[in-house]
Amino acid sequence: MKSWLTTTDHKRIGLLYFWTAFVFFLLGGIEALVIRLQLAQPSGHVVSAETYNQLFTMHGTTMVFLALMPLSASFFNYIVPLQIGARDVAFPRLNAFSYWVFLLGGLFLNASWFVGPLFKAGMLNVAPDGGWFGYANLTERQFSPGPNIDFWLLGLQILGISSLAAGFNFIVTILNLRAPGLKLMRLPVFTWMTLVTQFLIITAFPVITVGLVFLMFDRFFGAHFYVHGAGATPLLWQHLFWLFGHPEVYILILPAMGIVSEVLPTFARKPLFGYTVVVYSGILIGFMGWGVWSHHMFAVGLGPIADSVFAATTMLIAVPTGVKIFNWIATLWGGDIRGTTALHFAVGFIAMFIIGGLSGVSHASPPADLQQTDTYYVVAHIHYVLFGGTIMGLFAGIYYWWPKMTGRLLSEPLGKWHFWLQFIGMNVAFFPMHFIGLLGMPRRIYTYSPDLGVSDLNLVSTVGAFLIAVSLLVFIANLWRTRSRGETASNDPWGGATLEWSIPSPPPVYNFSVIPTITSRLPRWRTELHAPMQDPPATPPGPIHVPGGSWWPMVAAFGLPLMALAPLTHTLWLAFVGAGVLIVGIYGWAFEPFEV
């Protein structure tokens, strides 16, 4: 237990990220099932309006910040150092700090479900209830007097620190720790997309931090950053939030695109079609993602010039995305296809992401968007992108890299059952939402009239949601079975082209017995110019230094939720205690000899 609590090994931290994020993913899924039960029929009475508001707020916040981002981070941690021929990340203790801050931030947010009695309220009464986007001026103290929004804004600031710490760490790792000969244009696409994602994280999260600090000053110190009556504008929050929020969508989807770009070549037995174009289109998506945020705001009256500009940029960003899709299809074309579960999820990703992308293009037109905004059409769009896209891509990565991470192969028959149940379930759940929205059902309402004519479609959608739940039970059964009865994995069970397949499964603590020298973009495959590389020897020729464990990252991380409790409970001394714990942790960290 101590070795896990103090670990600075990127592989163990990757597994900690995976299991923690997967638990939060299940929690967000349970919240979604309760939402769907409430909406299964008109005038539902499963939960009250107040609880419903908390459910959809926590569902969105949990899935975006506590499930999808950290599930991607589990692959960043585990796979990227292996793909670039490194022994660990650049800053191993900062990596551990990032994980503990994420865990404590997630627990802080979810504690809001249970601590109502401490705030003289009932259970299930003080969870965040202003939507995952927290629109002003609903979040002002006048309209949300309880601690609900306080939990949300403080929890997100804690999670932002975790993301920023990881972002800087991986940028330095990828740029500085590559094996000899591993030029940037020889990097695997997953590592490239990770690099682009980290630059988006370190530039987007400061924007939401500014917005949250303004909101904190409004709520705790009587400022008026978003109060119209004081000469400010609530639209400032929308601009700050979506200036972060749209790059955030690409933070969520680019890692999945990178995973798919690794899985398809391996199971088509041919190199990725147009590698250079795929890399540049990923970089272009990262840049262009900063120029489209106001398409979330076509309904606020920005005027014809702004609407026209953001309509054009939103249509333009479909171009690099479309380029990737054509390259993925061309990679499969004429390949020696092996229909593994990982390939099923990768191809499912392409199909579902196309549907999500097409409904997104319909939001690029302001007149169409005015009809669709705040209806279930938008809910359908975001779920096709983030469930059909990100989740499908992440599951492709899980089935692909699980043997490398654990030394055992997941069951292929169970994997196929998982895929088809999830694929059918998500389409049954989310496709009807396009029609529910176009027929006029607003999002974020806890009940609806039978006269609206969407009762049957809502019931179908709820059935689909429970089908997704069944598919996840199959996946959990697969994980459980694989622990004891899974087939033992060799170094390279799939015949992959990249460096992680040249070392044992799971890798030793030092990763590579000898750091390889790279001469090709596909080092383990024979190409016209290069023979496949020799795998590193099984045992290192000499002793290898690896970082030891440390308690200090965890100690420092504990200071942050303690500081957040101070404004939440209006207890000043807690702020000093939290700051003291943080400072002691940082000093202990700074003066600790970092040897084995």
Q: Which residues are annotated as catalytic? A: 59, 88, 132, 162-163, 246, 248, 250, 261, 295-296, 321, 324, 443
For every residue of 255-302, which 3-state class applies, written as one string? Answer: HHHHHHHHHHHHHHCCCCCCHHHHHHHHHHHHHHHHHCHHHHHHHHCC
The SS3 assignment for 442 reads strand
3-state helix, strand, coil split of the chain in percent (to 5) is 70, 0, 30
Cα distance between residue 87 and residue 394, in whole Å: 24
Q: How far apart are CA 357 and CA 533, in angstroms?
A: 39
Q: Residue 232 and residue 135: Cα distance in Å, rounded? A: 14
**Mapping DSSP to helix (H, G, I), strand (E, B) and coil, where does residue 130 land?**
coil
Q: Please, which residues have CB within 8 angstroms of residue 347's CB and are 6 or more apart in sequence?
A: 332
Q: Residue 465, SS3? A: helix
Question: Cα–Cα distance between 414 and 393 in angstroms, integer?
Answer: 18
Q: Give every CB contact of residue 473 below 8 A, 6+ residues apart in sequence.
A: none
User: Cis link prior to 506 (omega < 30° from 0)?
Assistant: yes
Q: Classify residue 288 as exposed, middle or buried by CB count within 10 Å of its CB (0-12, 13-18, 19+).
A: buried
Task: Please report, for residues 128, 140, 170, 186, 586, the alpha-carbon distance to residue 580 in angstroms, rounded to integers and kept in the order given.
Answer: 28, 30, 28, 46, 10
DSSP 337: -
Token pair recorded at residue 384: 């096709």
Instruction: From 393, 399, 129, select the one nearest 260 (Cα to Cα).
Output: 393
Cβ–Cβ < 8 Å for 562, 589: no
